[in-house]
A = this chain, B = another copy of it.
C-alpha cells in the first residue's frame, strides 16, 4: 500500500546525483546509470519525463549530458516523484470534493483521506534536493573516515 515504485526511487537517486554535481559539467546518462546501478535504457525514459517537466536540462551530441534545470534548493522531492508516479491522490474523492460525497460515512472517511493527503504532501514538499545532496555528501564523508582506517574502497570515495 502506498508504495513508491522503482520509477520514483530511480528518478530521485538520479536527481540527487545531479544535485551533487550542480554547477559543474554535464553528466552522461551512462555515468548516472552505472554509478546508481539503474538500467540505462529505463533511466533514459525517466529522465526524458523529468526533462519535459522542466527539472532537467540536456545537452545533445558528443560530450553532452544532463544537468539540473534549477537550483537544487528549488526542487522538492514532491516535484520529482509527482512527475514519475503521477500527482499525489490518496483517493479520487479528495480531488472531486463535495460532489462525490453523498453519504455521511463516506464524508467522514473522506475527511481522513484529505488529512492524509496533506500530511504526505507537506512532507514531500518540505524536502529539497539540496538537503538530500548535502546529506549524501555528509554520509560519504563519514564512510570516508571509516574506510580510511582500513584503507579500503578508495574508488567509492572519489566523486
Interfacial residues, chain A to chain B (CB-CB below 8 A): 1-4, 8-9, 12-13, 16-17, 20, 35-37, 77, 81-82, 84-91, 103-109, 111-113, 115-116, 119-120, 123-124, 127, 132-133, 135-137, 139-140, 143, 156
The 8 Å CB contact of A109, one of B2, B16, B103, B124, is B16
Q: How many copies altogether? A: 2
Nearest residue, chain B, Cβ from A20: B105
Nearest residue, chain B, Cβ from A102: B37
Provide the residues of chain B in CB contact with A13, threshold 8 Å: 105-106, 109
A105 to B4 CA separation, bound complex (whole angstroms): 17
Provide the residues of chain B in CB contact with A104, threshold 8 Å: 136-137, 139-140, 143
Provide the residues of chain B in CB contact with A127, threshold 8 Å: 112
Provide the residues of chain B in CB contact with A84, threshold 8 Å: 1
* Closest-CB distance, A79 to chain B (whole angstroms): 12
The 8 Å CB contact of A1, one of B82, B109, B137, is B82
* Closest-CB distance, A12 to chain B (whole angstroms): 5
Could you tell me if B109 and A115 are in contact, using CB atoms closer than 8 angstroms?
no
Could you tell me if B1 and A89 are in contact, using CB atoms closer than 8 angstroms?
yes
A86 to B1 CA separation, bound complex (whole angstroms): 5
* Closest-CB distance, A5 to chain B (whole angstroms): 9
Provide the residues of chain B in CB contact with A17, threshold 8 Å: 105
Could you tell me if B1 and A91 are in contact, using CB atoms closer than 8 angstroms?
no
Provide the residues of chain B in CB contact with A87, threshold 8 Å: 1
